[in-house]
Amino acid sequence: MKKILNRLTQYETLTEKESRDIIIDISEGKLNTSEISSFLTIFMIRNITIEELNGFRKALIELSLKIDLNEFDPIDLCGTGGDEKDTFNISTLASFVTAGSGVKVAKHRNKRDRLVSDFFQGCVRGETYCHRRRRSGSALELR
């Protein structure tokens, strides 16, 4: 990784394969936090080339979890990812309305959106819920 970082600091670019391999290495825990931080910092300073972007894309596709939803024929409703202000996400509401009309919906969430995740998990278990605001944030109680 040191050679790659040295090349990048000299304004060289990565090949598609090098870009792909680095993302795979990051995901497999082969790089330490300093190496990852240095790598990301470089790309905050300079533009990503198309070749590098293609390598990153290929790695993410390769690492993604493949799910066959063909028998369900769902639609995917996605939003902007939320506003990080503990508000209810409109795409989540749209998913409820759409599913309520009989359409099968595949809903994804941001990893930070723990409240929605807890809610959906409670629905799967048949639990009811209550959302309470607290000074330090929100809490979701499943009953």
pLDDT digit string, tens, across residues 56-110: 999 999 998 888 888 888 888 776 666 666 666 677 778 888 888 988 887 766 5
Angle between helices 33-45 and 2-9 (to 10 degrees): 20
- Strand blocks (E) in the chain: 75-76, 105-106, 129-134, 137-142
Whether 139 has a pLDDT exceeding 50, the answer reads: no
Q: Could you tell me the pLDDT band of residue 16, with boundaries at 50, 70 and 90?
A: very high
Sorted by where each starts, the structural domains of the chain and their CATH numbers stand as 2-63 (1.20.970.10), 75-142 (no CATH)
